[in-house]
Amino acid sequence: MKRARVSNGCVFGECVFKNYRFLATLAHEDSPAERLALIKEATDEELLTLAECCLNVLDVHHTPLDQDQLKELKPYAKEIRALSQTECTDDARHCSQVGYGAFLPALLLPLLGEVVRFALSNHKKKKRRRVEEEEDEDEEEEVEENRKIKGKDSGFVDDDDDEEQ
């Protein structure tokens, strides 16, 4: 699995980017019943992505959580550990349904913020690279055009020279 390292050291797997929409919907869902319905309808990959997010939170070096965010997650430590250790989707589904998934917004919101920050910085880098490449192409075209013009100038024959002959 490909993993992306964000500038602050946070590490995300490819599945986090792929399932961003699901994670964001789940994180912003206020209704416990709706959150539970989302978990029940989740695909296997989406559930394993939740498990990966939990695993990243438990590894201090993989997530940029501050003290307030950690304090908010502390009551859910047992659920987060259990979900991070799941290897099959049935277990992941069961663990994420505990307490109607009340811990999921506190878990996902800081991570999703980092995912967005990473995606935007990558987008800016790609855009900057594309602009630089276009500028390079324009310069090359200009140089080539100047060569053609200079080539024509060197082959220029003065009309006065023709009249004298």
Residue boundaries of the structural domains of the chain: 3-123
Q: Residue 43 burial by CB count (10 A; 0-12/13-18/19+): exposed, middle or buried?
A: exposed
Locate 5 and state its tokens: 């390292």
| Radius of gyration over every alpha carbon of the chain, rounded to an integer in angstroms | 28
Q: Are 79 and 98 in contact (CB under 8 A)?
A: yes
Write down the pLDDT at residue 21.
92
Write down the pLDDT at residue 25.
93
3 φ/ψ angles, rounded to the nearest 5 degrees: -130, 140
Write down the pLDDT at residue 4.
47
Residue 5 has pLDDT above 50, yes or no: no
Mean pLDDT of the region 102-111: 87
Question: Which residue, chain included where needed, has tokens 């987060």?
Answer: 80
Residue 41 has pLDDT above 90, yes or no: yes
pTM above 0.75, yes or no: no
Q: How far is CA 19 from CA 24, 109, 146, 157, in A?
A: 9, 14, 51, 69
pLDDT digits 0-9 by tens, 85-101: 988 888 888 888 888 88
Residue 38 has pLDDT above 90, yes or no: yes
